Every structure is written in structure tokens, then in C-alpha cells.
Copies of this chain bind each other. A is one copy, B any other.
Amino acid sequence: MRDQFHDQLDSVFGDLAAICRQVETAVSQATKALMTGDVILAEQVISADAEIDRARERVEESSFNLLSLQQPVAGDLRTVVAALRMVSELERMGDLSVHVAKIARLRVPEIAVPEAARETMQRMAVVAEDMVVRVSQIITTRDVEAAIALGRDDEEMDQLRRTSFAELLSDDWADGVEAAVDIALLGRYYERIADHAVSVANRVVFVVTGESPRAAS
């Protein structure tokens, strides 16, 4: 009975890693759509989100079945509940990629990110995407060290966000209100993707060690 439980639990974590790879694609394509004004790619991110939602529902059903039929206790119970939370966060990261794609689509044939904001925004996108890639691996390997390191790297995102605000509030900003509002919201979306990535990594730490890293609070 316990073996069957752990097989099913592994399968749930396999599904979580697969959803995380779908999120990777969403973040990467949304960024490309944003930076190039590619409306077809933006549409693709928006329509692919329904698959992430369905995958989330399947993980929720599997987790409920595990709770209901196998009645896990202690660490096993906490692991299943952690899986339920991780899948909510992954879905949310998909939604945030859709928000990025929608801003890209809204500005076509223009490009939402003006030259003056491009370098910082591109770096935010790279940091966010890299964190999502690493979270997929962390879910698969349950590597606690890597999970804790991810939490530390979130600081670069905070710094980039400050840089981005400084750019659009400087006297040199010549791209007007609309671009500034887009940049502020895009920055917020990438920052939230990174926050959720850290949170998912922290849940992996909790699943493996039974304790949350300090950074989780």
C-alpha cells in the first residue's frame, strides 16, 4: 500500500515538473513576442494557457485521490498538500506569462518595450526564465541546495526592478506615459513569476527536509 502511494506521489511530481516546463515555454515565448512584436507567438502563449489549466486540474484530482484513498499522515500528507500548492503557483506563473503576451499583442505593430528600457527588461525576462528552468529541475531532483540558491538569486530581480523604475522616472525618459505604464506592469509580472518560482522551490525544501527555508516567510 505504501509503495503504491509513493509511486503515485512520484507521478504527481512528474506532472508538476511537466507543467513547469510548459510554464518555461510560456515565459520564453511571451518574452520573445514582447521583444519582437510577434503577434502570432503572443496568441500562441495566450491559447496554450488552457492546457496548463487542464494539467493543473489533473494534478488536483490525482492529489485528492491520494489523500482520499491512501489517507497519508505526517510527511506524506504534507507532501501531497505541498503538491496542491505548487500546482496553484505554477498555474499562476502561466497566467502571468499570458499578461506579458497580452501587452505584446496590445502594442502590435509597435513594440511595447522602448530602447531605453530594453536592456533591463530583457535581463528581467532572462532572470525569470532561468528561475523557471531551475525550478523544473528542482522539482525533478528535489535538490535542496539548488532550491535554497534560487531564493538567494531573487535579489537580482529586486535590483532590476529598482533599475527599471529609475529609468522610467528619470528626466531622460522620452517615451511617454503609455510605455512607462507598460514597463511598470511588465516588471511587476516578471517579478511575480520569480516570486512564485522561489515559493515553489521553498516548498520542495519543505517536502524534503520538513522545514521551510528562512527565505520562505
Contacts and interface: CB of A to CB of B under 8 A. Distances in A.
Interface of A: 53, 64, 67-68, 71, 73-74, 77-78, 81, 84-85, 88, 165, 168-169, 173, 176-178, 180-181, 184-185, 188, 217
Nearest to A50: B217
B68 A74 contact: yes
Contacts of A74: 68
Contacts of A181: 165, 168-169, 180-181, 184
A85 B78 CA distance: 14
A183 to B, nearest CB: 8
A71 B73 CA distance: 8
Given A169-B177, A180-B181, A68 B73 contact: yes
Contacts of A77: 64, 67-68
Contacts of A178: 169
Contacts of A173: 177
A173 B78 CA distance: 52
Given A168-B177, A168-B181, A184-B185, A81 B68 contact: no
A84 B169 CA distance: 40
A77 B165 CA distance: 45
Contacts of A81: 64, 67, 81, 84
Contacts of A185: 184-185, 188
Nearest to A173: B177
A74 B71 CA distance: 12
A85 B178 CA distance: 36
Chain B CB within 10 A, most for which of A74, A84, A180: A180
Nearest to A84: B81
A51 B45 CA distance: 39
Nearest to A184: B181
A168 B78 CA distance: 47
A49 to B, nearest CB: 12
Nearest to A189: B188
A84 to B, nearest CB: 7
Chain B CB within 10 A, most for which of A176, A178, A184: A184
